[in-house]
């Protein structure tokens, strides 16, 4: 598959939206996460719309709520905005309490269409890999940057694994399962 100018436009749009944002508690540009998600989507059978949604999956909750979703729809189409919406757990600032948002997202994730599932799964795989790397580099202090703390974050990832295993048995699901298992073994040290 060849990526078109739409992907390039989405990349520029995403980089500009998240230009001042860093990964939580680090000096790593947030854009690295968006690029990783889009790459995982493409490497695992996703199409251009899904890759664009991978670049934009956090735009609504981090950069403008429902008006941002409408702008994404106008710029990149109905399907991209549908996927981004499916990956969004907050539309307002301040956001609802963390636990509440995650419980609602887990429930919704059980019945999302495959194109939303792939983008969400790519997002969670990259986040889990980043968490595991942080644990290796920083030790337990890495947990301090997560709203759910150690126990809440572990609860969330274990539940994500369960939901994704119930909805498919693909490479990314196996990868998430493996990485979350490594995170759990880190905690048990």
Confidence at residue 162, expressed as pLDDT on a 0 to 100 scale: 98
Confidence at residue 95, expressed as pLDDT on a 0 to 100 scale: 85
Average pLDDT over residues 149-172: 96
pLDDT digits (tens, 9 = 90+) for 34-68: 999 999 999 999 999 999 999 999 999 989 999 99
Confidence at residue 187, expressed as pLDDT on a 0 to 100 scale: 76
More confident residue, 67 or 189: 67
Tell me if 179 sits within 8 A of 128, measured CB to CB.
yes
Tally of structural domains, the chain: 1
pLDDT class of 189 with cuts at 50, 70, 90 = low
Q: Which domain holds residue 40?
A: 5-187
Alpha carbon distance, N-terminus to C-terminus of the chain: 44
- Which residues neighbour 2 within 8 Å (Cβ) at sequence distance 6 or greater? none
Confidence at residue 113, expressed as pLDDT on a 0 to 100 scale: 97
Q: How many CB atoms lie within 10 A of CB 65?
A: 16
Confidence at residue 150, expressed as pLDDT on a 0 to 100 scale: 92
Distance of CA 40 to the CA centre of its chain: 11
- The enclosing domain of 87 has a CATH number of 1.10.3210.10
């Amino acid at each position: 598959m060849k990526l078109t100018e739409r992907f390039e436009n989405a990349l520029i749009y995403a980089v500009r939206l998240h230009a001042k944002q860093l990964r939580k508690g680090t000096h790593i540009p947030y854009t690295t996460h968006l690029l990783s998600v889009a790459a995982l989507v493409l490497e695992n059978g996703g199409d251009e719309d899904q890759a664009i949604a991978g670049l934009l999956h956090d735009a609504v909750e981090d950069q403008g709520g429902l008006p941002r979703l409408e702008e994404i729809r106008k710029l990149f189409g109905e399907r991209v905005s549908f996927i981004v919406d499916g990956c969004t757990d907050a539309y307002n600032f301040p956001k609802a309490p963390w636990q509440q948002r995650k419980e609602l997202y887990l429930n919704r994730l059980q019945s999302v269409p495959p194109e939303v599932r792939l983008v969400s799964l790519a997002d969670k795989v990259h986040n889990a890999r980043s968490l595991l790397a942080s644990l290796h580099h920083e030790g337990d202090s890495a947990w301090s940057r997560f709203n759910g703390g150690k126990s809440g974050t572990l609860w969330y990832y274990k539940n994500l694994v369960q939901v994704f295993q119930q909805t498919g048995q693909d490479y990314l699901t196996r990868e998430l399962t493996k990485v979350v298992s490594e995170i759990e073994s880190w905690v048990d040290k």
